[in-house]
Amino acid sequence: MRKRQSVPVRTLLISTTLLATGLCQHLIPASQVHWQFVLQRLYYLPIILAALSFGWRGGSITALIGGVFYSVNTFLTSPASSYDLLDLDLEVTMFCLVGMMTGILADREARRKSTLEQTARELSKVYRELQENFEQMKRTERLSAIGQLSAGLAHEIRNPLAAIEGSADVLQNETPSEKQRHEFLGIIQKECRRLNRLLTNFLDFAKPRQPDLEMTEIGHLVDSVVGLAAHAAGGTPIMFNKEIAASLPLLECDPEQLKQVLLNLTINAIQAMQPNGGEITIKAQERQQQVFLEVQDQGCGILPEYLGKIFDPFFTTKNDGTGLGLSVAHQILQQHGGQLTAERNAEQGMTFRIILPVKRTSVL
């Protein structure tokens, strides 16, 4: 698009050049043929300038005015015998042709530029809208996640509360035997513990703390997880195998959080193999600046239709499960810029795989 503020300046420049050329032609005697030739060509300058600035109309009008100047000056300054009328006509026609053609090309270029600018404006508008929609989607997703969580939490709290209330009623209204008293108090204690565990896990999920990164030795971390998990196995005969690659680098992570993730996975593996037991293999290796940590079990496995749900908060197939272990693990790994995947083993059981970058540049 032509700039508005430059229109008067251009008009002035074009008129000045045109007038100056005409005046020079008028003042320089026809005998100075070389100067006359130069001036004749100089008329093209304002014509082309006008065509470029104001399109074919501007080019044509300037060419006509230039033609008039040129013809009048030639008639007035040269003796009738020294110019060729055909040559004069041809020159004026050339002025008009050059003015019009350059103007048409300039118009076409201006239209193309304006279309491009329009497209760029539309594209940037679409981009802005897309960004707004994306932000909106993120907000909606977060709201729906909070809604889902609250509904799940309410459901999870109601059951233990009902059990506690029922037991308390029995203890208050009836005269239970010592054995019954013991049994109902046991139920109350168990359900309180369950509620406490649920709330701790929920808080970990709802308000995860930022990872406190430090260079961590994975071998030690796995040892300590196996030590803790062995207690959780109770009487179930579990054999732990560790396959830690010798060349494993130190991993930049929050060791407490990663321990929690590995422990959640290992306890799930133990629970999946109860009551018969079996082997749990924990592998660690490095490929292309990423550490792969795997927990492989020989348990009951996960049905293919459940695979898409196990990372949802409160999804559990266990009577006393909270369904938050994998959600918490998933979230911790996301904060580390890593991933958690679950795969059914070819023969039996599951493999959970943690993928973490060896070095973090920033925490998400």
Q: Which residues bind ligand ADP (CB under 6 A)?
A: 264, 268-269, 272, 297, 299-302, 310, 315-318, 321-327, 350
We find the least distance from the C-beta atom of residue 323 to Mg ion, in angstroms, to be 8
Rounded-to-integer distance, Cα 180 and Cα 296, Å = 42
For residue 29, what are the contacts with CB-CB under 8 A and spacing of at least 6? 77
Nearest residue to Mg ion by CB is 325
Of 40 and 264, which has the nearer Cβ to ligand ADP?
A: 264
How are strands ordered across the β-sheet holding 238-244? Answer: 238-244, 278-287, 290-296, 350-357, 339-344
Q: Please state, in angstroms and rounded to a whole number, the distance separating the CA atoms of residues 256 and 31.
A: 101
- Alpha carbon 167 to its chain centroid, in Å, reads 53
Report the nearest approach of ligand ADP to the CB of residue 331 (Å): 11
335 binds, among ligand ADP, Mg ion, none (CB under 5 to 8 A by kind): none
CB atoms within 10 A of CB 86: 8
Cβ proximity to Mg ion, 147 vs 234, nearer residue = 234
What, of ligand ADP, Mg ion, none, does residue 21 touch, CB below 5 to 8 Å by kind?
none
**Could you say whether residue 58 binds Mg ion (CB under 5 A)?**
no
293, 282 contact by CB (below 8 A): yes
Return the number of the residue (125 or 318) whose C-beta is nearest ligand ADP.
Answer: 318
Residue 319 C-beta: closest distance to Mg ion, Å: 13
Q: Under a CB-based contact definition with an 8 Å cutoff, are residues 333 and 340 in contact?
A: yes
The CA distance from 77 to 18, in Å, is 18
53 binds, among Mg ion, ligand ADP, none (CB under 5 to 8 A by kind): none
Q: Which is closer to ligand ADP, CB of 249 or CB of 301?
A: 301
Task: State the amino acid at position 260 in one-letter form.
Answer: Q
Residue closer to Mg ion by CB (options 221, 269) is: 269
Q: Which residues pair with 242 in a beta bridge?
A: 282
- Token pair recorded at residue 300: 């009951």
Residue 131 burial (CB count, 10 A): 10
For Mg ion, give the closer residue by CB, 36 or 266. 266
Q: Using the minimum distance from each CB to ligand ADP, give the nearer residue, 168 or 300.
A: 300
Calpha distance 31→82 (Å, rounded) = 10
Beta bridge mates, 284: 244, 293
CB of 329 to Mg ion, least distance (A): 9
Q: Which of the residues 254 through 313 are near Mg ion (CB under 5 A)?
A: 268
- For residue 318, the partner it binds in ligand ADP, Mg ion, none, with Cβ less than 5 to 8 A by kind, is ligand ADP
Work out how close the CB of 342 gets to ligand ADP at its nearest, in angstroms, rounded to a whole number: 7
201 binding Mg ion? (CB under 5 A):
no
Single-letter amino acid code for the residue at 63: A
Q: How far is the CB of 131 from ligand ADP (least distance, A)?
A: 34
Q: Which of 325, 337, 338, 349 binds Mg ion (CB under 5 A)?
A: 325
Going by C-alpha positions, the residue among 90, 122, 108, 95 that lies closest to residue 22 is 95
Q: How far is the CB of 352 from ligand ADP (least distance, A)?
A: 6
What does the binding site for Mg ion look like in residue numbers (CB under 5 A)? 268, 325
